[in-house]
Structure 1
Amino acid sequence: MSNLIETILNSDEKIELWQFLEELRKSEKRYLLRNDIQNAFENYCKLHEKSDGFYHTSLVGKLVYYTQEIILEEESLCLVYRPKIARHEFYRIYDGLTIEPLTIQQLLDIRDRFVNHYHPEEGDVFEIDFGPFYDYSPIVRDPKNIGRGVQFLNRFLSSQLFQNPQQGLEALFRFLSLHSYNGHTLLINGRIKNSQQLSEQVKDAISFVSELPENQPYEEFRFELQSMGFEPGWGNTAGRVKETLEILDRLIDLPDPEVMEAFLSRIPMIFRIVLVSVHGWFGQEGVLGRPDTGGQVVYILDQARSLEQRLQEDITLAGLDGLEVQPQVMILSRLIPNSDGTRCNERLEKVHGTENAWILRVPFRDFNPDVTQNWISRFEIWPYLETFAIDAQKELYAELRGKPDLIIGNYSDGNLVAFLLARRLNVTQFNVAHALEKSKYLFSNLYWQDLENTYHFSLQFTADLIAMNAANCIISSTYQEIVGRPDSVGQYESYESFTMPDLFHVVKGIELFSPKFNVVPPGVNESVYFPYTRTEDRVPSKIEQLEDLLFTREDPAQVFGKLDDLNKRPIFSMARLDRIKNLTGLAEAFGLSEELQEHCNLILVAGKLSVSESTDSEEREEIEKLYRIIDQYNLHGKIRWLGVRLPKSDSGEIYRVIADRQGIFVQPALFEAFGLTILEAMISGLPTFATQFGGPLEIIQDKVNGFYINPTNLEETAKKILEFVCKCEGNSNYWLEVSNRAIARVYSTYTWKIHTTKLLSLARIYGFWNFTSKENREDMLRYIEALFYLIYKPRAKQLLELHMQR
């Protein structure tokens, strides 16, 4: 039992705990989450006139702080206690404070019983448990190191080399012998026949290149190195070759984590990369603002450009230009025949600003053309993914002239396709979730049967379990995306154990301490998003055009609202109109504060103005809600709502136009996995207010280079914005100070060069790990396949049958 609970039971606070739990029983809610529990405890303290110290520092207060759930049953209550990040304990408490620990299986039964889906008379429910499959791999011990998997892995690999040098050197020799490109051997040839000879020849090669001028091109001494057993790939100059060989020499003689990473990061083994993003409208024009598009297009296009550039730099530094090695980056997406004027019906589209990065679109098979010829929501896409992967494999082979070296999935559907492709091709698989729906929709797993017709969570959550366990490496944008904070559960952590009543129990859905997790935040496209002060790179005609659109243009087809006072400071936000992005919440917060309205105008860029323009039910509801809020709070003359889809170049300039007027940017999402728009606004120079739920907590340093808001507390949100505005009016330098710190924050941490350098380093290190480790992944992959064929595929078939009837 927890030390804290035992201490309470042996103290005077035992009575306080009992009284609090008794008052909880009076609650109308029978399933209380952390926020409910905190509010109830606050009310208890007020009712019993407890001091602030009792609320914050008493033993009971600490227990309440770390309690995530309480389920009230007739004769007892069940408590989910999270004393540390990624650690949960479960207890049942009876009258008289008799407390007994619960197993996870018992807790899942209790949750089933809560929704009246517990049927012990029918036998046990199917249990999913990935725990045993992680016994083969090393495990991170300290929660603070979760998300630093590659650092842990480097230490582990170097220690293995140190403990068994001969075995480690043999593995390294075999690994270096593998590499080739289009039939050209790389790194070492047959003249080096074993690991001992490799060690000796490295020292001889270092002596040879040390006699050469550092900048002497590799091609001028290539044949001498080949005679010693070394093929292209070590460097493009004598100095670079010497550096790489010396790193290898140090790794052989005295393995070290930093040396390990430095060496593996230089190995030319990644030339062809596939980025998978299946759902939504994926294109370069006319897609932003459409359902299921949003930030994914921006992220993946920017990533593709940066990856190609970085790969080319690596190829040049490795001395492979003479072999005419060309990097290839392929964005695999869905071809949509009825493309609504976009280019999403084109099979192949070159990515702007690249030499060899492409969007490859593969159609869904026409099971029912009325469905598959059109856009399909991310919630409905599941029946088509297996055949899509089969067809995509053929198309990728045709374009790449071979198999890729790395496949990176995006979102739940793209990650599932990445698994299917990686499994068939036997290549390294990376996952990027961006956002896991399970965290966004409260009780989505518990009430999945009620939500199934709309969201099909049974398929999505099964796909998530399959893909995240199959992946060699999981890329997250933030630490808390994995395991949350001391007071909140992470997105991946929510998959550790859960129930889908009448379908399955997840006893162990993911190992959070696995070194597969790595935090690699995305960057900003610096050619599009840059500070407003860089006037030499701004186009005056574009500035004038966007100023007109933002503030004065009268066009009922694109603009709703006319501003009475153009001199007020603009509050700006730009997002899709859906419930999670919460633009309507920002409008209501603005409406609730007449004082804020006296100082500011509210300007929203939200894609659509009319319900007739949208086919998405949630978007239509938000459009109607925004009109109601404008009327309810009489915001006419104080708000501009732009129903436009901006080209990317315009979206960069629009932030700067707002910054010219010393405006602010607000990101009011109910939850945000990361928040690219936050980076875009900050690098443009806009002081930024962003949701405290999710990734922004790791981007923004509160009250230093931005501000946190609680989007569920509208009055508090308005008050925080007003306080900033008033402070700016009292101190003419304050806006500028926050603006400059916001710009500096992005440049120091969130550029695409930083992102892709780290990503490619990970790809090489995990490639080496998969080759050298004794971890037997085949049993896990077979288990994953069983879930796919026994759970996912039959349910996908049922959904397909519904689609066939449309």
Structure 2
Amino acid sequence: MSELIASVLDSSERVDLREFVDGLRGSDRERYLLRNDIINAFERFCQESGRSPDYGTKSFLGKLIYFTQEIILEPESFYLIIRPVIATQESYRIAEDYSVEPLTIQQLLDVRDRFVNQFHPEEGSSFAIDFGPFYDYSPVVHDPKNIGKGVDLLNRYLSSKLFQDPHEWQAALFNFLSLHHFQGMKLLVNGRIQNRQQLSEQTKRAIDFVSKLPGERPYEEFRYDFQDLGFEPGWGDTSDRVRESLDMLDALIDSPDPTVLEALLSRIPTIFTIVLVSIHGWFGQEGVLGRPDTGGQVVYVLDQARSLEEQLQEDLRLAGLDGLGISPKVIVLSRLIPNSDGTRCNERLEKIYGTDNAWVLRVPFREYNPKLTRDWISRFEIWPYLETFAIDAEKELYAELQGKPSLIVGNYSDGNLVAFLLARRLQVTQFNVAHALEKSKYLFSNLYWQDLEPTYHFSLQFTADLIAMNAADCIISSTYQEIVGRPDSVGQYESYDNFTMPSLYHVVNGIELFSPKFNVVPPGVNEAVYFPYTRRAERVPVSSDRVRELLFHLDDPAQAYGQLDDLDKRPLFSMARLDRIKNLTGLVECFGRSPELQERCNLILIAGKLRTEETTDNEERDEIEKMYRLIEQFGLHGKIRWLGVRLAKSDSGEAYRVIADLQGIFVQPALFEAFGLTILEAMISGLPTFGTQFGGPLEIIQDGTNGFYINPTNLDETASKLLTFVESCDRDPQRWHEISNAAIDRVYSTYTWSIHTSKLLSLARIYGFWRFTSEENREDKLRYIEALFHLLYKPRARGLLEEHAQR
């Protein structure tokens, strides 16, 4: 990339660069610009200076601007932060005389600090966090396009280890197989096999034994002969499946292969009990969706719990364990809220609907201040209570599971921190799921953390993120770009690679993006609730009538605002909580600015609340007030209907289908969406969907084929795209059906819970094996993480707790 800078400076384009930068400076004020600002400013520069239409793409300067992520302006120099390829960053200082100086990460962080603290510069160096050395023990992905496929690399690495040092790794494999049991019942390998050599010999004898049996002979009929050979239950439910498993083991011992390793580890029973950690929200099955901080996460975790239990039951049956009284258990660990506002969030234990042995286990926060801890606490304020919550939860989990869980999966920043604390104490495998890291959602949130701290407490959240993501054995992301973005945008995890929180710390290497811990495993859709509108036999007429009445007719000020003048117009539909990022007010403004769209469509929103006095969330209150202002400003009475309701899950599925009956359109206008469950729900229902181009929807929707991208920051362009599609459907009704059918096909081919949980459990078994074989090399990193927790996180959490005590 330095060659591209040289190409600009060694040509006549150096003058253009000077003019562009001078224009950015304006009246000599220092400025800090991010990529979107830079691109827009360069487009204006090209137009105002009369450059040719292709100058922005053909010139050296245009190419340089495309790769530039940040520009920092100082009086006599400026800095370019360039991203030549995904997950790679370069920084340069360009002086007044056009001399170019490359910057180290530490120098760049100092520049950022100086920009923030220009009026109060600090002396001395900052505390630096660097996780880089701790990843020297593990393999790394070399090609950025393979980031998020960590398990493939890990299998190749483990197989090569078996091949390069067979004695050591065969011993590790033997020890791993020997340690498994379930509540005192020995599994896989018993004491008749004493070492790796005997494992190899007895495996061959066992293969010879089962090969002589009828293929479908039930395991129970030869169990005791099999035990005499040194093998316990867990290899299969029939002689054929046992032989398949032993053939894999034999092949792995003699000639290691990554495919065989993955297949074997994926089928042997090492996972029996799973804890899914979801702390901060109103976590329940009824009366909670749409409340602050919940919505998507509650839906995701409940659906995941059901699917995990079902898949575990099938896996244990195939392993030959269901006849031995071994059954899986899934626990969703959440917070008990005494003042539960009519929900079941004050109940310690609640069975998850549609499961045999999956439960919501709620543990209360300790009552440091009952005025707070008995009520819901915002996700931004929850940090002081998490360590004691983990200590109390450990006891509750032991009571419910009669032992340790096999796997702990954290959700969101707070749940991931609790997952780390529990996994560290219990010595079990830890997975992280984030999907929505706040650092990416709030621009400059780390630079100006001190200004934002009273409201958001980002110093705690970002520290918790660093701790949890580095401690995790595996990080599950919904999309590739959640990890490292796209060629023109930085990923959520990539934003943690290096950053500064001025006056607190520098992060020199916050996460190894090329680590095999990253795996893309998209969530699915609950197919019992969300299914195509055309499957009319499965739809409940009473539910359809109730939802249709709510969407279009109900005249109840407590639940609905606005009546529609013309019900024959095509409905534009959106459903989300009212916060700034979900941007429903942006959709209202987009609709309000387009008289043509208003002529052809009605706008229908399901958005949780109608009145400011109903919420304690400041952001939601602001969005409610903004919504009313926009309706008045654009005169949208009779054209918009805003429903402040919490739909039951079955009704939310029917809401999409009722809109589809009328050949409506779903719009998801978020300023950023880590994944987009509502997009999947709408698409599987058959609704043509317009989704934000910022985030996960880019990997769900194939633009123009099964949906459309929109830029929610460009309201006129969004309205134009919607209008173009509506007009094409009016001219040719088949166009709506083409997109509808393609949307349905897209979800069924890629985004089902059975695909998700099968992959997740396979990962859990493989990473459990990796954790076992690399335990010695992990300890130094975990000690470093614990130091950050005790020296950085806990003192700040204690300070916030003292603030809470004064309320």
Q: Secondary structure at the match of 2:350?
A: strand
Per the alignment, residue 503 of structure 1 pairs with 504
The answer as to 2:145 corresponding to 1:153 is: no
Q: Is the 8 A contact 2:365 2:389 kept in 1?
A: yes
Aligned ranges for residues 758-773 of structure 1 at < 5 Å?
758-773=759-774
Q: Secondary structure at the match of 1:159?
A: helix
Aligned ranges for residues 228-243 of structure 1 at < 5 Å?
228-243=229-244
- Shift of residue 625, structure 1, vs aligned partner: 0.7
2:335 and 2:530 mapped to 1: Cα distance? 28
Alpha-carbon distance change, 489 to 232 in structure 1, aligned in 2, over 3 angstroms: same
Alpha-carbon distance change, 713 to 250 in structure 1, aligned in 2, over 3 angstroms: same
Alpha-carbon distance change, 66 to 291 in structure 1, aligned in 2, over 3 angstroms: same
Q: Is the 8 A contact 1:112 1:118 kept in 2?
A: no
Amino acid at match of 2:13: E
Per the alignment, residue 492 of structure 1 pairs with 493
Per the alignment, residue 413 of structure 1 pairs with 414
Mean Cα deviation higher: 608-617 or 301-310: 608-617
Alpha-carbon distance change, 213 to 118 in structure 1, aligned in 2, over 3 angstroms: farther
Q: Secondary structure at the match of 1:70?
A: strand
Alpha-carbon distance change, 709 to 313 in structure 1, aligned in 2, over 3 angstroms: same
1:9 and 1:155 mapped to 2: Cα distance? 45
1:443 and 1:538 mapped to 2: Cα distance? 47
- Shift of residue 659, structure 1, vs aligned partner: 0.5
Q: Secondary structure at the match of 1:485?
A: coil
Per-residue CA deviations over 1:116-143 (Å, capped at 9, x if unaligned) read 1697764221111111111111111111
Q: Secondary structure at the match of 1:665?
A: strand
Per the alignment, residue 628 of structure 2 pairs with 627
Per the alignment, residue 731 of structure 1 pairs with 732
The answer as to 2:67 corresponding to 1:66 is: yes
Per the alignment, residue 614 of structure 2 pairs with 613
- Shift of residue 14, structure 1, vs aligned partner: 3.0
- Shift of residue 64, structure 1, vs aligned partner: 0.2
Aligned ranges for residues 336-351 of structure 1 at < 5 Å?
336-351=337-352
Amino acid at match of 2:797: A
2:3 and 2:160 mapped to 1: Cα distance? 36
The answer as to 2:117 corresponding to 1:116 is: yes
- Shift of residue 107, structure 1, vs aligned partner: 1.1
Amino acid at match of 1:395: E
Aligned ranges for residues 82-161 of structure 1 at < 5 Å?
82-116=83-117, 122-161=123-162
Per the alignment, residue 8 of structure 1 pairs with 8
Amino acid at match of 2:672: F
TM-score, normalised to structure 1, is 0.99
Per-residue CA deviations over 1:475-534 (Å, capped at 9, x if unaligned) read 011000110011100000111111111111111111111110111110000000000111
Per the alignment, residue 719 of structure 2 pairs with 718
Per the alignment, residue 650 of structure 2 pairs with 649
Per the alignment, residue 538 of structure 2 pairs with 537
Q: Is the 8 A contact 1:408 1:415 kept in 2?
A: yes
Amino acid at match of 1:757: S
Q: Is the 8 A contact 1:117 1:502 kept in 2?
A: no
Per the alignment, residue 220 of structure 1 pairs with 221
1:298 and 1:11 mapped to 2: Cα distance? 56
Alpha-carbon distance change, 56 to 333 in structure 1, aligned in 2, over 3 angstroms: same
1:29 and 1:710 mapped to 2: Cα distance? 29
Per the alignment, residue 391 of structure 2 pairs with 390
- Shift of residue 668, structure 1, vs aligned partner: 0.3
Mean Cα deviation higher: 60-69 or 200-209: 200-209
Q: Is the 8 A contact 2:114 2:121 kept in 1?
A: no
The count of residues paired between Structure 1 and Structure 2 equals 806
Amino acid at match of 2:141: V
Per-residue CA deviations over 1:437-470 (Å, capped at 9, x if unaligned) read 0110111111111111110001001100100011
Alpha-carbon distance change, 181 to 117 in structure 1, aligned in 2, over 3 angstroms: farther
The answer as to 2:465 corresponding to 1:464 is: yes
1:256 and 1:124 mapped to 2: Cα distance? 49
Q: Secondary structure at the match of 1:390?
A: helix
The answer as to 2:663 corresponding to 1:662 is: yes
The answer as to 2:694 corresponding to 1:693 is: yes
Amino acid at match of 1:8: V
Q: Secondary structure at the match of 1:84?
A: coil
Q: Secondary structure at the match of 2:679?
A: helix
Per the alignment, residue 440 of structure 1 pairs with 441
Q: Secondary structure at the match of 2:489?
A: coil
Q: Is the 8 A contact 1:109 1:118 kept in 2?
A: no
Per the alignment, residue 588 of structure 1 pairs with 589
Amino acid at match of 1:417: V
- Shift of residue 803, structure 1, vs aligned partner: 0.6
Amino acid at match of 1:14: R
2:332 and 2:292 mapped to 1: Cα distance? 19
Amino acid at match of 2:5: I
Mean Cα deviation higher: 192-201 or 670-679: 192-201
Amino acid at match of 2:376: W
Aligned ranges for residues 312-461 of structure 1 at < 5 Å?
312-461=313-462
1:509 and 1:695 mapped to 2: Cα distance? 23
- Shift of residue 255, structure 1, vs aligned partner: 1.4
2:192 and 2:56 mapped to 1: Cα distance? 73
2:495 and 2:177 mapped to 1: Cα distance? 40
Q: Is the 8 A contact 2:30 2:74 kept in 1?
A: no
1:593 and 1:682 mapped to 2: Cα distance? 25
- Shift of residue 644, structure 1, vs aligned partner: 0.4
Per-residue CA deviations over 1:178-197 (Å, capped at 9, x if unaligned) read 11111111111111122122
Q: Secondary structure at the match of 1:430?
A: strand
1:533 and 1:253 mapped to 2: Cα distance? 54
1:117 and 1:243 mapped to 2: Cα distance? 67
Q: Is the 8 A contact 2:284 2:343 kept in 1?
A: yes
Amino acid at match of 1:580: I
Q: Secondary structure at the match of 2:572?
A: strand
Mean Cα deviation higher: 315-324 or 202-211: 202-211
1:392 and 1:5 mapped to 2: Cα distance? 55
Amino acid at match of 1:220: E
Per-residue CA deviations over 1:674-694 (Å, capped at 9, x if unaligned) read 000000000000000000000
Alpha-carbon distance change, 117 to 411 in structure 1, aligned in 2, over 3 angstroms: farther
Q: Is the 8 A contact 1:569 1:661 kept in 2?
A: yes
1:167 and 1:398 mapped to 2: Cα distance? 38
1:164 and 1:614 mapped to 2: Cα distance? 62
Identity of aligned residues (%): 74
Q: Secondary structure at the match of 1:83?
A: coil
- Shift of residue 29, structure 1, vs aligned partner: 6.4
- Shift of residue 700, structure 1, vs aligned partner: 0.3
* Root mean square deviation, CA, Å: 1.2
Q: Is the 8 A contact 1:117 1:501 kept in 2?
A: no
Per the alignment, residue 184 of structure 1 pairs with 185
Per-residue CA deviations over 1:61-106 (Å, capped at 9, x if unaligned) read 1110010001111111111011010100111111121110111111
2:454 and 2:21 mapped to 1: Cα distance? 37
Q: Is the 8 A contact 1:432 1:476 kept in 2?
A: yes
- Shift of residue 167, structure 1, vs aligned partner: 2.2
TM-score, normalised to structure 2, is 0.99
Amino acid at match of 2:470: N
1:185 and 1:232 mapped to 2: Cα distance? 8
Alpha-carbon distance change, 347 to 444 in structure 1, aligned in 2, over 3 angstroms: same
The answer as to 2:799 corresponding to 1:805 is: no
Per-residue CA deviations over 1:207-245 (Å, capped at 9, x if unaligned) read 221222221111011111111111100000111111111
2:123 and 2:487 mapped to 1: Cα distance? 39
Gaps of 5+ in 1: none
Per-residue CA deviations over 1:632-670 (Å, capped at 9, x if unaligned) read 111111111111000001001110010011101000000
Amino acid at match of 1:115: V
Q: Secondary structure at the match of 1:686?
A: coil
Q: Is the 8 A contact 1:118 1:501 kept in 2?
A: no
Q: Secondary structure at the match of 1:230?
A: coil
Per the alignment, residue 481 of structure 1 pairs with 482
1:718 and 1:47 mapped to 2: Cα distance? 27
- Shift of residue 672, structure 1, vs aligned partner: 0.3
Q: Secondary structure at the match of 1:528?
A: coil
- Shift of residue 737, structure 1, vs aligned partner: 0.7
Mean Cα deviation higher: 123-132 or 201-210: 201-210
1:57 and 1:493 mapped to 2: Cα distance? 29
Per the alignment, residue 23 of structure 2 pairs with 23
Mean Cα deviation higher: 107-116 or 304-313: 107-116
Alpha-carbon distance change, 284 to 109 in structure 1, aligned in 2, over 3 angstroms: same
